[in-house]
Amino acid sequence: MILRCLLFSLLYFVGNHVLGQEQKPNILLIISDDQGYHDLGSFGNKDILTPHLDQLAAEGVRLTNFYVTGSACTPSRSGLLTGRYPQRNGTFELFRNNMVNYGHQYTAYEYSVSPERILGTDLREIFISEVLKDGGYTNGYVGKWDLGQLKRYLPLQQGYDKYYGFANTGIDYFTHERYGSPSMIDGNQLTIEDRGTYTTDLFEREALEFINENEGNPFFLTLSFNAPHSASNLDPEIKGTVQATEKFLQMYPESNTKRGIKQRQYKAAVTQMDQAIGNILQRIKELGQEENTLVIFLSDNGGMSLADNAPLRGGKAQFFEGGVRVPCLVKWPGKIEAGQTNDAFLSSLELFPMMVAAAGLELPKGVIYDGFDMLPVLQGKKGVDRSEMYWEFRGDQAARIGQWKWVQSAKGNGLFDLKQDIGEQKDLSLEKPEKLEELTRKFSEWKEAMKNAAPRGPFKDF
């Protein structure tokens, strides 16, 4: 009788194991902030040290033709975490105050009622965290949120079980203030307990704590660094720079030019972030979870002025390739062959469906998603489904249809053949008027569809 019970228990365990009931993968989504397309060793940069991300690339797939939904932080992140165009989900602008541009120091009250403080992503939107939580995951968010600061907009109200980070944009790496306003949040409460500690160190600490606490349980961790975004500080010596610690600054030669000094800080910040990522991946390995963890790394948008976006044109806040094509790495041992480079036309809109499918779940019914599960593409089982993508921000517009890209913006206009001209140097508008008409027409159709989408967000009148 005892033997039969033991045998039944063993068969029950093995059966569940085989059926996948105990094999939901952990998902680690890592986001860097304003990192250049070329600012990884695995993307060809010989001057920046990113050994752990390079190892991630070697153990997974490197996506070289990967786009985000916005050329600036907020709309890019809204598209990533909802799986929907920013124009569809309603978060297509930045939640920002502009008086800091003129050196204005906000009082606590001024900041509390300012647009940057009170705006947020529409609460009717369904975040990836909500879908995974309903599917049995424990979810953590560490780092930059940027989708609303009021309690109702924070991660704990969007399906996350843990939150430690800041909910606005670039902050001072040491004081954790945004232009003098304390910004670090633990759970739902502002905190100054860790003031003075470098943000990357804090986010590494919190990520490791979350992983250790959830050993044996399927977890979804969004790890969103502020590195290498510039620091938001009214001090002219800090404003517009990227802060770094001395240990990592020493890895790069000193410079006697102003730009050289700033680039040294930028590189040091990237390398310290890389080290933190390495430590976190090592901990997952030590826990025996490496084979059962899907790891995704990307930059939220193109690199800013200190970044290297070569061979792409432009950068952050632009719709040339340097603003919206970003480095992306994906690793899932046993599911994705290691050491690949994939040049398929893919985007961050594909990540939501891929993570849902990886977890063995289904997309919410009645919601229009703008991407698809890209895992079969990464596995070589099928061709890419994406043939077009569109962008709009502050009057700038862009569309990509196949290999063709159209840009109309304050920084320049043109029609480009990306297959022949990845640097968008040769405007073919006059030579290919029919192709120009096709892209502008399809953009107009997309814009009309976005206009007619269910009204969302703080910027639409409804």
pLDDT digits (tens, 9 = 90+) for 41-51: 999 999 999 99
Buried b (16+ CB within 10 A) or exposed e, 313-331: bbbbbbbbbbbbbbbbbbb
- Amino acid identity of 342? N
Distance CA 133, CA 446 (A): 32
- Amino acid identity of 67? Y
Q: What is the mean pLDDT of residues 61-79?
A: 98
185 contact partners, CB below 8 Å, separation of at least 6: 154, 163, 164, 165, 166, 167, 191
Q: Is the peptide bond before 115 cis (omega within 30 degrees of 0)?
A: no
- Amino acid identity of 130? E
Q: Which residues pair with 341 in a beta bridge?
A: 62
Out of 130-144, 265-279, 374-388, 431-445, which region has the weakest mean confidence (pLDDT)? 374-388
pLDDT digits (tens, 9 = 90+) for 55-64: 999 999 999 9
pLDDT at position 12 over 50: no
pLDDT of residue 16: 39
Distance CA 176, CA 197 (A): 9
pLDDT at position 385 over 90: no
Q: Which residues pair with 187 in a beta bridge?
A: none
Distance CA 313, CA 322 (A): 5
pLDDT of residue 434: 98
From residue 450, how far is each of 88, 89, 317, 454 by CA, in Å? 6, 9, 21, 8
Q: What is the mean pLDDT of residues 362-390?
A: 96
Do 274 and 52 touch, CB atoms closer than 8 A? yes
Q: What is the mean pLDDT of residues 342-362?
A: 98
- Name the more confident of 154 and 5: 154
**Res. 23 pLDDT band, cuts 50 70 90:** confident
Concatenating the DSSP letter of every residue in 32-83 gives ESS--TT-SGGGT-SSS--HHHHHHHHHSEEESSEE-S-SSHHHHHHHHHHS
pLDDT of residue 426: 98
From residue 3, how far is each of 10, 12, 142 by CA, in Å? 10, 14, 47
Spatial CA neighbour of 371 closest among 341, 398, 339, 349: 349
Residue 189: burial class (beta carbons within 10 Å; 0-12, 13-18, 19+): exposed
**Res. 101 pLDDT band, cuts 50 70 90:** confident
Residue 251: burial class (beta carbons within 10 Å; 0-12, 13-18, 19+): middle
What mean pLDDT value characterizes the chain? 94
pLDDT at position 5 over 50: no
Do 202 and 164 touch, CB atoms closer than 8 A? yes
pLDDT at position 14 over 60: no
**Res. 22 pLDDT band, cuts 50 70 90:** low
pLDDT above 90: percentage of residues in the chain: 92
Q: What is the pTM of this model?
A: 0.95
Spatial CA neighbour of 74 closest among 193, 169, 157: 169
Q: What is the mean pLDDT of residues 329-357?
A: 98
From residue 40, how far is each of 64, 156, 209, 375 by CA, in Å? 12, 32, 27, 23
- 24-386 CATH pick, 2.40.50.100, 3.90.1300.10, 3.40.720.10, 3.90.950.20: 3.40.720.10
**Res. 435 pLDDT band, cuts 50 70 90:** very high
Q: What is the mean pLDDT of residues 427-453?
A: 98
Q: What is the mean pLDDT of residues 182-205?
A: 98
Q: What is the mean pLDDT of residues 332-350?
A: 98
Cα 327 to chain centroid distance, Å, stands at: 10
Distance CA 458, CA 447 (A): 18
Cα 146 to chain centroid distance, Å, stands at: 11
250 contact partners, CB below 8 Å, separation of at least 6: none
Domain ranges of the chain: 24-386
- At 261, is the secondary structure helix, strand, or coil? helix
